[in-house]
Amino acid sequence: MARRVEGKAAIVVGGGQTPGQTIGNGRATAVLLAREGARVCVVDRDRASARATVDMIEGEGGQAWAFEADITNEDAAARLMAAALERFGRLDILHNNVGASLALGDAPATELTEAAFQRSFDVNLKGMWLACKHALPALRAAGGSIVNISSMAALNAYPLVGYKTMKAAVVALTENLAAHNAAHGVRANAILPGLMNTPMAIESRVAKGTAREEVIASRDRRVPLRRRMGTGWDVAYAALYLHSDEAAFVTGVALIVDGGESVSWGS
């Protein structure tokens, strides 16, 4: 069976990860796209973290390179796309994985500071728009694919204002991109992960003083499917499908990957 993204040129923004005991969504996606034949530009504001992902890919015989960028800065977004085109000669896949909540100081409405709200806007939404803005000319030329990582926080009663608001806006951004780039052959889809055992989700809660075992157990209990959280690989496989030619007629979709939690609310 042919590899599913063979020969495609991919950018994974947020392809490093928060330090932790498990693999994050972005790193897992970068590794899986490379396993399936893509050449991958791994982007992160932490070059060492991006390089660690590249080392994993190259250790498996894949092709990847690390690029350091703060994607919330437009000059950095423009430099990234120029460098990727110089390296690859084309762009087929843009995968936007950057996002954070507690680490940005997110809080309920009455406690959230203006600075923390701005940080949430910049990291969770503005950076995705900037990446798309500067990637679209190349994606239109190739008939490429965009996947933006939102969150089930966009749909559920998530208590923190910044993350919920921005992740809901990511879905709207994705729908806009899908509608207005379909004529150019560009597909744009979003993934809404539920409760995931990833460093971003777990480490920030552990850092606030909750025992790791308690954090994991409390989250596992909320997931109907096998009573365990998903992993970065679950998000990565959903992304692989959306970026592959198997999803050639799929655009504007907000794909829920949550182990059945959303269909079980209130049950």
DSSP 116-154: HHHHHHIIIIIHHHHHHHHHHHHHHHHT-EEEEE--GGG
pLDDT of the residue at 267: 63
Lowest-pLDDT range, 117-131, 179-193, 230-244, 253-267?
253-267
Residue 204 has pLDDT above 90, yes or no: no
Instruction: State mean pLDDT over 3-29.
Output: 96
Diameter over CA atoms, the chain = 54
Rounded alpha-carbon distances, angstroms, from residue 19 to 14, 15, 48, 176, 203: 13, 12, 11, 33, 8
User: Helices 25-35 and 232-243 sit at what angle, rounded to 10 degrees?
Assistant: 50
Q: Where are the domains of the chain?
A: 9-257
pLDDT of the residue at 208: 87
Beta-carbon-side half-sphere exposure of residue 69 (alpha carbons within 13 Å):
30
Helix (H) or strand (E) holding 187: strand 187-193
Q: Has 163 been annotated as catalytic?
A: yes
Residue 8 has pLDDT above 70, yes or no: yes
Residue 1 has pLDDT above 70, yes or no: no
Contact present, 37 and 93 (Cβ < 8 Å): no
Give this prediction's pTM. Answer: 0.96
Helix (H) or strand (E) holding 176: helix 161-181
Residue 258 has pLDDT above 50, yes or no: yes
Considering the candidates 158, 163, 237, 241, report the single residue annotated as catalytic. Answer: 163
Domain 9-257 -> CATH class: alpha beta
Q: Which two tokens stand for residue 154?
A: 């966009």
